[in-house]
Amino acid sequence: MILHVKHIPARQTALAASVASTLVTACGEGEIQPRVLDNLNVHLDWLQYKTNFREAITLRRAVRGQEILPWIEVGVDLRQVQNDSVRQEFVTALKDATDAAASRKRIYFEPYTAIRSGLIWRFNNLFWQHLPLWESAIGHGFEKALPGGTSDANHPEAVADAVADFWTLLKDLEGHNQLPAEIFALEIGVGTGQRAAAWLDRFRALDRERGTNYYPRIRFLLADYSMPTLNRAMEAVKEHRELASFLAVDALDPFKSLSFLRYKVLSIHLTNVYDNLPTDEIVIRDGKLYFVEARAYVNASAANRICETAGVAPTEFARTVSRLLEVGPQHLLHGNVEQGVSFWRSVWDAIRLEERFVAIQSILDAPLPSGVKPGLLENFVGEGVLNQRFHLSSGALESFLNTVPLLHPRGYLQVQDIFVTRFEDYGKMFRGPGKMDGSIVNWVNGALLAEVGAQAGYDVHFAPFHYREGSRTSTLYTTHRE
């Protein structure tokens, strides 16, 4: 057995040592088959997200084609694990690794699939489509779940600085006689609409103060794929209604809806969008690459509890979940919205991902968004990396590549989000996926995004968000690459 100790906060080292000692003892006392022990890698992690898709003890196998490789990985989440039960859970998990019947303890919703295509993203979609129902059930807005209780993007100083930068750009364009008659600014993923409102308020004030009369030429586009969100944003920016338009846009492909604005938009802003877009993951173990596949499940015991509470026959559980995703919570359980939302929240809370690692030859064997030239990525991982797990950030890459063609030659893209800006930083802490209320959150592979940006003709930079102490967000901004 090889023990990997990762992501352990200083105050949890004693717990890590205790758990490690328990596991080593279990192995030493012969509770694990020697054949399993020879191929066993145990990863002790502290998972950053309080709610996520993993069990306290998670087993992962690797496959090459149809062959199951002897190598076994066990992930131990120190946040969830109970010291007094860890030994038994560990032994049971490893027994399950060789016991086909073990899977009967789980109710699977899908076969193994690429993470970005999995069922959890349908739940994520459900959350944004039925946001008011969820918020009504929990008694507060979704932004409360964010660190700090609100989006960093709404910070007044950050907005003021963004407006000042934009005004300077407009002034410069005007100086070169290149200011367009219509000044397009686009926000994708509008949240509550507060940022857009604050931006427009501030811009109008600055414009009046400096007497430039740019404000009436602003065409502010608010884009989101969730109609409830757009409706809420519409209310937030009502003072600027004549300048604002509201568009249903898929964040993965803004160009599809907005191609008429090709090379015309001077400022594009996204906040907390990329971290909520589908992604895949790559794992490096002993220097070899694996693509992560997963299947969503709920433990049979949890399913029984949920069914009992909701008055659903256990045999109808999977079908009811499927119906939830198809028609929404308001049409479940005889139209009792409260019970429907409760069922939804319970299922979401109970959903876990069972993972397997599929051996690949190189990163080029992983599905890359169209438009990403594979040549440069061959060297992305670099040599000598033996153990790492990282996001491909498929959705973020796709969104980026389908957004930048909207940019005016002097325009820029700003994305406020949680970015891993250096590949090696993936080793420093758990980067998701986690659950944020009813949605999914993943850190975004900023290092890879920078490579892809360069291929598309944009230098990608990251600036830490310095307006709120302790903020982990940073701002990606583009400059045109010479």
Partner 1 sequence: MSLPTLPTTVVGSYSMPGWLERLKTEYFARRISRQELDEIHDAAVKAAIKDQEVCGLDVVTDGELRRDNLIDYFAERLPGVQTDHTSKKFYYDFYDSVVRGKLPMASLRLADDFRFLSAFTERATKFCVTGPHTLVKRIKDEYYKNEEAFAMDLARVMNMELKELVRAGARYIQIDEPYYSGFPEDLQWGVKVLNTLVDGVDAKIALHVCYGNRYGKPSWAGNYRYLFPTILEANIQQLTLEFARRGGEDLELFKEFPNKFELGVGVIDVKTHEVETPDIVAERIRKALKFVPAERIFILPDCGLLHLPQEVAFAKLRTMVQGAKIVRKELGG
- The correct pick among 34, 111, 335, 375 for binding partner 1 (CB under 8 A) is 375
In whole angstroms, how close is the CB of 288 to partner 1 at the nearest point?
23
Q: Does 382 bind partner 1 (CB under 8 A)?
A: no
CA distances from 279 to 114, 115, 237, 360 (A): 9, 7, 32, 17
User: Judged by CB under 8 A, does residue 456 bind partner 1?
Assistant: yes
Is 408 one of the binding residues for partner 1 (CB under 8 A)?
yes
Q: CA-to-CA distance for 444 and 442, rounded, in angstroms?
A: 6
User: Collapsing DSSP states into helix, strand and coil, what is residue 143?
Assistant: helix
Numbers of helices and strands, H then E, in the chain: 15, 21
Rounded CA-CA distance 361/65 in Å is: 12
In angstroms, what is the minimal distance from the CB of 182 to partner 1?
13
Nearer to partner 1, 140 or 480 (CB): 480
Token code pair at residue 171: 């002034």
Rounded-to-integer distance, Cα 324 and Cα 331, Å: 8
* Options 405, 468, 471, 472; binder of partner 1; rule CB under 8 A: 405
Other beta carbons within 10 Å of 314: 13
Using the rule CB under 8 A, is 373 a contact of partner 1? yes
Please, what is the Cα angle at 361 between 427 and 371, to 5 degrees? 80
Q: Which stretch binds partner 1 (CB under 8 A): 96-104, 220-228, 327-335, 404-412?
A: 404-412
Nearer to partner 1, 139 or 384 (CB): 384
Piece of the chain touching partner 1 by CB under 8 A; list 69-77, 120-128, 307-315, 374-382 = 374-382
Q: Is 148 in the site for partner 1 (CB under 8 A)?
A: no
217 binds partner 1 (CB under 8 A): no
Interface with partner 1, residue 175, by CB under 8 A: no
Cα(140)–Cα(437) distance, rounded to whole angstroms?
11
Q: Given the structure tokens 């054949």, which residue do they identify? A: 35
Judged by beta carbon, residue 461 or residue 468, the one nearer partner 1 is 461
Tokens of 8: 């352990």
Q: Does 364 bind partner 1 (CB under 8 A)?
A: no
Q: Which is nearer to partner 1, 180 or 328 (CB)?
A: 180
Shortest Cβ distance from residue 253 to partner 1 (Å)? 14
| Residue number with CB closer to partner 1 (349 or 378) | 378
481 binds partner 1 (CB under 8 A): yes
Q: What is the C-alpha separation between 35 and 97, in angstroms, rounded?
A: 12
Using the rule CB under 8 A, give the single segment among 145-153, 175-183, 244-252, 423-431 that binds partner 1: 175-183
- The sign of the torsion formed by the CA atoms of 78, 39, 359, 354 equals negative
Report if residue 67 touches partner 1, rule: CB under 8 A: no
The gap from C-alpha 182 to its chain's centroid, in whole angstroms, comes to: 34
Site for partner 1 in 435-454 (CB under 8 A): 454
Residue 436 in contact with residue 145, Cβ under 8 Å? yes
Question: In this structure, what token pair is assigned to residue 170?
Answer: 């407009």
Asked if 461 touches partner 1 (CB under 8 A), the answer is: no
User: What six digits make up the tokens of 376?
Assistant: 């440069």
Sort strands 352-360 and 106-108 into parallel, antiparallel or unpaired.
Answer: unpaired
Q: Which listed residue (29, 409, 469, 470) binds partner 1 by CB under 8 A?
A: 409
Does position 253 bind partner 1 by CB under 8 A? Answer: no
Could you write out the DSSP letters of every residue in 276-334? GS---EEEEETTEEEEEEEEEEEEHHHHHHHHHHHT--GGGHHHHHHHHHHH-GGGSGG
Residue 482 touching partner 1 (CB under 8 A):
yes
Shortest distance (Å) from residue 403 CB to partner 1: 13
Number of residues that bind partner 1 (CB under 8 A): 22
Residues near partner 1 (CB under 8 A) are 177-178, 180, 262-263, 373-376, 404-405, 408-410, 454-458, 480-482
